[in-house]
Amino acid sequence: MNEMIKEMVKRERPDFDRLTDISGYSFPSGHTMNSTAVYGLIAYLISTRIKKGKWVVFAVSSILCLLIGLSRIYLGVHYLTDVLAGFAVGLCWLMFILTISEKVRQK
């Protein structure tokens, strides 16, 4: 999905000083999108198996995803809007996966 969106938008990466070399298009941030979906799913799965401290699991997951997104800006490989789009697409993908998962569990 990430590559499909990148090909549709074709936004070039920032041209200011980067701390690392990277190729390909910038929008959306794949690292941010994938970390949001994967760590969000892990947090959900853990929270369904524990009684106390669910907020801690989601807080740690959220902070980790935020730091990954910020690292992409810090490295100079993404604009803020790329990272925000990564969060949005990752959350949409996570909600889709969780919806399907709940439907399967109800059957």
For 44-86, what is each residue's pLDDT tens digit?
999 989 989 899 999 999 999 999 999 998 888 888 999 999 9
Instruction: Check 2, 6, 78, 79 and give the catalytic one.
Output: 78
pLDDT of residue 28: 85
Domain extent listing, the chain: 30-106
pLDDT in tens, 10-35: 888 788 777 677 877 778 888 999 99
Q: Is the per-residue pLDDT at 6 higher than 80? A: no
Find all residues with CB under 8 Å of 18, minimum gap 6, and list them. Answer: 75, 76, 77
pLDDT at 95: 96
Torsion angle of C-alpha atoms 20, 24, 27, 30, degrees rounded to 10: -70
Confidence of residue 7 (pLDDT cuts 50, 70, 90): confident
Q: Which of 6, 13, 25, 31 is catalytic?
A: 31
Q: Is 38 a catalytic residue?
A: no
Answer yes or no: 78 catalytic. yes
